[in-house]
A and B are shown apart, each in its own frame.
Chain A
Amino acid sequence: MAKKKVGIIGGGIVGTVLGYNLSLYDSVDVTLFEKDQIGSGTTAKSAGTVCLFDDSLPNKFWNVRLYGFQTYMNLEKEDKGSAGFDNTGTLVLATDKKVEESIKTGIALAIAAGYKAKYLTDHDKINKILPDLNLEGILGAGWTRDDGYFDSTMASNTFVKKMRANGAKVFTTTKVEKINMHGNKVTGIETNNGSYNFDVVVDASGPWTRFTGRMAGLELPIWHTKAEAFFLAPPKKKLDYIFPVLKYPRFYARREGDNIFICKAHLTMDLNDPMHAGIWDPDKLQPTGGTDEYFLEFLFGELERNAPGLLDCGVASSWLGYRAEPPDFMPILGDTQVDGYILAIGCGGNGVIEAPTIGRDLAKYIVTGEKTLLIEHLSLKRFEEKYNLKAK
């Protein structure tokens, strides 16, 4: 029996995990196309925080979070450093009762899965973990030493290495320029390096999704939100403690070498605010710079209130990235109105967390036709009524 030919557009964390999962099936011939380098686009600008508990992905998706964390940890077990794990632990601050409840639920789930985690209400103990915090008005904090953050570019490259070992093909610096169709069925793609025939084409192009979808005649409901990150250099050039992944509902931070990476939380972005969201050209993004004045003001306000000790840090650099967000901030997975055109898009600020589950479940669907609850729940159908999904 002929193998099913699957082409993946996009070599970020979602595309590479999917590619690896597909390469595990004998019945599939998988090829991945990346216009630049593996893990170089929005994946490279990801914070890589896959924490056991926080509010960026609701607790009802606990299995997604846990499987994501365990997948990267398994890479580390196989080959230390292959997922770039930095075991700093995570501190999540409870700013109100609702957040506190979510943290406590997350802690219970983490403990049930065999990890160590606790809820601290003693401010001295919280300040012992992170001395620069002002804890006035803070109810408590969830703390675990068992997690941290991953290097998603490194993890993407590891998945590529593994899929290549399984016989899959990966082309970098290869831009998909056209999606070939016969009637309403995808038949293949054309790139700057040649044409390829496929039974199935998967869009995993992250912030490029709007433009990729149009090649298949689709106007996909994805907006860009700005991910503006600053890298702060401590006044003494080096921190004398391990800076954990720090999560507040409105911003998060983690260490980056001797510096501190800090970014506005993706769920605070308003898709109707032109300062926050729009449809922009990700090709015009620069490796550094491009941040907005409003973000600096936001950051100043947050640090002044929550971490005044960090205000004396120097601003070493900054960058602007685009997250790909659907209106409900959850991914869009599976079928479209176009036969053979499958989506693995809209992971926004949670791509690194969600990629392992998306890759596993979507590969299973492409090969067997069986949908997991996640694929059922996050299909494009949920936007059909409100949005015209046909490209003009």
Chain B
Amino acid sequence: MVILFLLKNIFYIEFKRKEELGLKIIVCIKQVPDTTSVKMNPETNTLIRDGVVSIINPFDTYAIEEGVRLKEKYGGEIIAISMGPPQVEESLRDALSLGVDNTYLLTDIAFAGADTLATGYTLAAGIKKLGGADIIILGRQAMDGDTGQVGPSVGENLGIPHITNVRKIEQIDEDGTIIVERLLEGGYLRLKTKLPVLLTVVKEINEPRLPTIKAKMLARKKEIVSWDSNSLDIETGRIGLTGSPTQVIKIFTPPKTTKGKIYQGNVKTSVTSFLKDIQNAGIQFIKKEDRMKNGTN
């Protein structure tokens, strides 16, 4: 009886803790072409999109997974939002099958041609319409653009703190503080801030789960809400091509400027020839004793 009483209370406390924290999490995702199936037209230097499979930007799958894990740990709701043409619904449905509760698509011809600035502004407008969030998560960058600018841009437009390249969410406290680890070259920063916060995450943060068949079937039945430009409180001059100071003029594969050289034959003469070549290329040799003298090794 005593054990049963204790167990019931432990579960109650755990349940209550989740309910109390009840995070609202928004994940911003982007649909990108699957690079394994993308080919370039060598004449026009443009992507051949015919028959190309579209996927969720792989970095965003870590954002979704982290959002789902936070919901599982602290309770609450997870929403996915994206901007793009109607076919992005497919990726939002994939997000639903990964554990997202609700999805919103910002879709309008007026949004077309947006650069990172206009995209950040538009996504922030969508998030504002949703009443904001406790935590907004994005992948560190999109696989196709590779800029890493949209996350911070959304954060700036919302006027909330943003931390990029997060590798771990250490804890979230009841007083609304969050502690995260931010990946640096050769180390990490441990940062503490107040919610709401925007995070961009790196792939070290988790291992995204796969959707189950059951989850895929349930996702098919869920509604995906679409909002056009009239649904949002926005300045029309700040969206789409009009609101984009940068434009992609050309995509091309850079020509190879160097070629390798194979040294063949006798080892001694090959090595001597190699050393001569790199010396001619401007690389200086330092004798071992000189290195020792200078304290380098």
Contacts and interface: CB of A to CB of B under 8 A. Distances in A.
Contacts of B37: 286-289
A296 B212 CA distance: 11
Contacts of A135: none
A315 interface: yes
A232 B213 contact: yes
A313 B213 contact: yes
A286 B35 CA distance: 12
Given A314-B210, A315-B210, A316-B210, A286 B216 contact: no
Contacts of A312: 212, 214
A293 B220 contact: yes
Interface string A23-39: 00000000000000000
Contacts of B50: 284
A40 to B, nearest CB: 15
Contacts of A311: 212-214
Contacts of B49: none
B76 interface: no
A225 B179 CA distance: 54
Contact of A288 (B36, B212, B213, B220): B36
Contact of A300 (B209, B210, B214): B214
Contacts of B209: 314
A297 interface: yes
Interface string B23-59: 0000000000010110000000000001111000000
A315 B217 contact: no
A373 to B, nearest CB: 43
A290 interface: yes
B113 interface: no
Interface string A282-323: 001011111001001101100100000011111110000000
B33 to A, nearest CB: 11
A51 B73 CA distance: 47
Given A284-B51, A286-B53, A293-B220, A315 B212 contact: yes
Contacts of B220: 293, 296
Nearest to B52: A286
Contacts of B214: 300, 311-312
B53 to A, nearest CB: 4
**Which of A284, A299, A314 is the most central at the interface, judged by chain B CB atoms within 10 Å of its CB?**
A314
B212 A314 contact: yes
A215 B51 CA distance: 26
A233 interface: yes
B211 A314 contact: yes
Interface in A237-256: none
Contact of B216 (A233, A288, A290, A296): A296
B53 A288 contact: yes
B211 A315 contact: yes
Given A284-B51, A296-B217, A300-B217, A289 B212 contact: no
Interface string A311-338: 1111110000000000000000000000
Nearest to B211: A315
A289 B213 CA distance: 15
Nearest to B220: A293
A286 to B, nearest CB: 5
A313 to B, nearest CB: 6
A73 to B, nearest CB: 34
A64 B122 CA distance: 63
A289 B216 contact: no
Contacts of A287: 36-37
A315 B214 CA distance: 10
B234 to A, nearest CB: 34
Contact of B51 (A232, A286, A300): A286
Nearest to A289: B53
Nearest to A233: B210
A303 B213 contact: yes
A122 B216 CA distance: 34
A257 to B, nearest CB: 14
Nearest to B98: A314
A283 to B, nearest CB: 9
Contacts of A233: 210
A286 B33 CA distance: 13
A290 B216 CA distance: 15
B216 A315 contact: yes
Interface string A77-93: 00000000000000000
**Which of A233, A288, A289, A296 is the most central at the interface, judged by chain B CB atoms within 10 Å of its CB?**
A289
A310 B213 CA distance: 9
Nearest to A230: B213
A53 B209 CA distance: 37
Given A286-B51, A312-B214, A313-B212, 20 more contacts: A230-B213, A284-B50, A284-B51, A286-B52, A287-B36, A287-B37, A288-B34, A288-B53, A289-B53, A293-B220, A296-B213, A296-B216, A296-B217, A296-B220, A297-B217, A299-B213, A303-B213, A311-B213, A314-B211, A315-B211
Interface of A: 230, 232-233, 284, 286-290, 293, 296-297, 299-300, 303, 310-316
23 contacts: A233-B210, A284-B50, A286-B52, A286-B53, A287-B36, A287-B37, A288-B36, A289-B34, A289-B37, A293-B220, A296-B213, A296-B216, A296-B217, A297-B217, A300-B213, A303-B213, A311-B213, A311-B214, A312-B212, A312-B214, A313-B212, A314-B212, A315-B213
Q: Which 10 pairs of residues, A with B, have the shortest CB-CB distance?
A: A314-B210, A289-B53, A311-B214, A300-B217, A284-B51, A286-B37, A312-B212, A233-B210, A311-B213, A300-B213
